[in-house]
Structure 1
Amino acid sequence: MAGCERCGANLGRFAHDAVCPTCRAGTALSPRPARLAPAVWMWSDRTAATALASRDLATILRAYRVANGLSQEALAALLAYDKSYVAMIETRKRTPGDVAGRRHIARALGLPYHFLGVTDPDDADFATLIQFGDSVVRLAEVARQSGRVVEAVNELWPLVARLEARAAEGRLERDTLLLLASARLSLGVSLGTVLPEERLTGAAAWTGKALVLARHLDDAEFLAGTLRMHGNELRKAGRLQAAVARLESAAAVAVDDGGRGAAFALLARAAGEAGLPDRFATAIDECRTRMETASGHEILLNPFTLREIHARGLLALGRVNDALAVLDRTAGDPAAPQWRVIERVTTGEILAAGGERVGAEEALIAAIATAERRRLPHQLQRAIRAARKTGLESARASGRAALQRLHSLLAPAASRAQHASTNSP
């Protein structure tokens, strides 16, 4: 892959000239949306997906309000409309038929224009979007792996929205379909980190949509990575047998030891949770072997990560003493910040299962503080669940307060303001 003439950075597979988009722009790739909520709503909520597919403005507005906890008055303020006008739209007594009005609604709510029956006014700039697209995906991955998951989602969702709109119109060529698959996969994995547990099926749905394309793109490495990530999101959503099947396929089609080892690491986790001791043991052994032979810096082939996966699997299989022994081993530093949170929650669960309540509470409270700072709601939920099971009320209260603060932080601005006014003295 050629490098940028100015900075020497690798150019994305979709680059059309010798200068990378960052050097050409001289600034950040794109402004980030002010709110996370539209992205999370559009790409993870089944009711929202049904509403958007209807292309009916009244249905879409009602679903948007319900999903984001907004009154008609709050939505009217967001759209800069009178409340009575919003009410008439929702009851189909009025329908904005002009293109400008529908574009205004799409822009204000962060929705793809085609869902409201209008074209994107920036359609002529689509070729530029494609050139920037690969860099957006790669920078979002960097943000996610460094713990800035909300930032990753905010970077990805406008790109996915534009590409999905083009795909719906049948206007994507093969290279652009590969970009769409990459963006779907990255968005799904990012959502799988930032969404609470009850909505993780949304993350699995997006990695699954990436897999649909990956199976037809004749790129073995990308297919293996997509199988791996989809399998992990299925595991997080509780679909353990499907997860094991996907991860075994990922290990089988991987093109190098790094990819194969990463697949075995995730397979070990899924097999442990599914209560499959033989598959778990085999996967752990394969992981250790690949950690010695793989080149590169695969995040899952890391002593710290592997120790957490091994210990958690042993706990899931009821082997608490063995899990405690694994935790006692020195494993260096995590490959990414969120793995410190994951490891602390696992440590708390194992110590609690072993009767070490003081150490368990300390580990869980440490995990809660970091999970809130990193905006990882499902890790907070894991910590709360572990504290509840073992009667560690101080950690449980700390986790519930942190989760409430985090939910408030990730809510739409209008919803936060409404909540604050409702609860003010």
Structure 2
Amino acid sequence: MARRDPHSGIRWHWTTPRAQDILRRRSLPEILAFYRHLNQLPQEELGTLLGYSTSYISRVETGSRTITDIGALRHIAERLGLPPHVFGITDDADGDHHAMIQFGESVLRLAEIARQAGQAAAAVDELWPLVARLEARAADGHTDTDVLRLLARARVGLGVALGHVLPEERLATAARWTGKGVAIARRLDDRALHAHALRHHGNELRKAGLHHAALERLGRARDLSHTPDDRAAAVILLARAAGTAGATTVFDEAVAESRHLLDTVSVTPLFSEFTLHEVQLRGLAATGRVPGAAELLERAPVPGFQTSPQWRIISAITAGQILLRRGDQDAAGEQMRAALHGAELHRLPHQVQRVIRASSGLPDVREQAQGTLTRLRADIAA
């Protein structure tokens, strides 16, 4: 069997549960033995890697020789792709590590606030440099689970933000970023993070038109969810994807579960009576039940204080589509124009593209939407 290259890409071997148990004990003999076993290295080759003799490595592994010199421990950590604090070294480098984690958490919080406030472009501006910095650290061997968890969340957050600001023909880019977040999350033995990443990846796959893959990811996210709040977030997105895909049974079941969860979970920008109404409205129309959608439209809830600008815009377009199919062109045009104003203000080109597709019977609205899309494309290219 071919040996793995210990210095290629992200060093996943330090993220496994067994490796994390060994690292928590800070036992140098165990760490060296684990590294040799994983990379199929004899003591002689490990000695060459670290600059020690075979007999010295043997004595360290058996515990008959203890290394306490900080410089030597730092050297070993660097060669094995470990942060110095694994060996209890708390100096400026370790402080930099903790500062990086705190900084990254702050950026993620600010980016999420910006996105929910309708400023997804600002969220992208915050997240790009964070992702680049974390990926550089991971490539250099800084593969603590806290760094990798942060990187997974940053990749997912970047993908979600890009999914707001990119036009439809480029939404695969957003899905690729959320997928890169899933690639890390699934290897970290962190069920909540894995569900979070799958949830957002599934939603971006839906937007990119990959309906079967979206349903699969969102179904897994639902099944992995530990808390009612996480399950609600997955189920409403599953309902949304099922409606788009025309999967009537999955859609109806997900809507019913979402309705049940409304009484037990916290209201969020994603999960509320308002957002569920929009998801159900669009799904009914997409699964061929326009009369039911028209009836539901008359019972539209008032958006709450947590309703994001994006959801208000999405809802206005959906309402316009139903009104147009009902023959009420004036009311439909009013909804579409309101959506266009919001989509341009918040730089949401794919929502403008939804208006273009939906407004074939409203030539004035369609012309306005095409002009709006041209301006947004110019902004993206600038």
Q: 1:408: Cα distance to partner? A: 1.9
The amino acid across from 2:154 in the alignment is A
How many residues align? The count is: 286
Q: Which residue of 2 aligns with 1:273?
A: 244
Asked if residue 137 in structure 1 is aligned to residue 108 in structure 2, the reply is: yes
1:400 aligned onto 2:370:
yes
Report the equivalent of 2:295: 325
Cα offset for 1:350? 1.4
Equivalent residue for 1:364? Answer: 336
**Residue matched to 1:165:** 136
Which amino acid letter does the alignment assign opposite residue 263 of structure 1? A
- Residue of 145, 164, 187 corresponding to 1:216: 187
Amino acid at match of 1:238: G
Residue of structure 1 aligned with 2:279, choices 305, 309, 324: 309
Q: Secondary structure at the match of 1:138?
A: helix
Is structure 2 residue 149 aligned with structure 1 residue 178?
A: yes
Aligned residue in 1 for 2:311: 339
| Residue in structure 2 matched with residue 391 of structure 1 by the alignment | 361
Indicate the residue corresponding to 2:323 in structure 1: 351
| Equivalent AA in structure 2 for residue 370 of structure 1 | G
Offset of residue 405 of structure 1: 1.5
* CA distance, structure 2, for counterparts of residue 317 and residue 181 of structure 1: 35
Contact 2:101 2:146 in 1 (8 A): no
AA in 1 matched with 2:299:
R
* Alpha-carbon distance between aligned partners in 2 of 1:161 and 1:183, rounded to the nearest angstrom: 10
Q: Contact 1:258–1:298 at 8 Å: present in 2 too? A: no
Question: Residue 163 of structure 2 aligns with which residue?
Answer: 192
One-letter amino acid of the counterpart of residue 266, structure 1: L
Q: Which residue of 2 is the match for residue 89 of structure 1?
A: none
The one-letter code matched in structure 1 to 2:155 is R
Q: Any idea what the Cα deviations from partners look like across 1:7-61, whole Å, max 9, x if unmatched?
A: xxxxxxxxxxxxxxxxxxxxxxxxxxxxxxxxxxxxxxxxxxxxxxxxxxxxxxx
| Residue in structure 1 matched with residue 253 of structure 2 by the alignment | 282
Amino acid at match of 1:340: R
RMSD across aligned positions (CA): 1.5
Q: Report if aligned partners of 1:225, 1:250 keep a CA contact under 8 Å in 2.
A: yes
Q: Residue type matched to 2:221 in 1?
A: A
**What is the SS of the residue equivalent to 2:352?**
helix
Q: State, as a whole percentage, how many aligned pairs show the same letter.
A: 50
Q: Give secondary structure in 2 for the equivalent of 1:301.
A: coil
Contact 2:198 2:221 (C-alpha < 8 Å) held by counterparts:
yes
Unaligned runs of 5+ in 2: 1-94
8 Å contact 1:210–1:226 — kept in the other structure? yes
AA aligned opposite 1:150: A
1:237 Cα offset (Å): 0.4
SS in 2 for 1:238: coil
Q: Which residue of 1 aligns with 2:353?
A: 381
Q: Secondary structure at 1:292's aligned position in 2?
A: coil
Structure 1 unaligned spans of 5+: 1-123, 413-425
What code does the residue aligned with 1:395 have? V
Report which stretch shifted further, 332-341 or 230-239. Answer: 332-341
Q: 1:299-338: per-residue Cα shift (whole Å, max 9, x none)? A: 3321110000000001111111111111111312152111
Q: Describe how 1:74-153 pairs up with structure 2 within 5 A.
A: 128-153=99-124
Cα distance in 2 for partners of 1:404, 1:268 equals: 32
Residue by residue over 1:248-304, the C-alpha shift from the partner in whole angstroms, topping out at 9 and shown as x without a partner, is 11111101111111111111111111111111100000001111111x333332111
Read off the aligned partner of 2:216 and give its amino acid letter: A
Partners of 1:362 and 1:214 lie apart in 2 by 43
Question: Counterparts of 1:220 and 1:130 in 2: how far apart (Å)?
Answer: 20
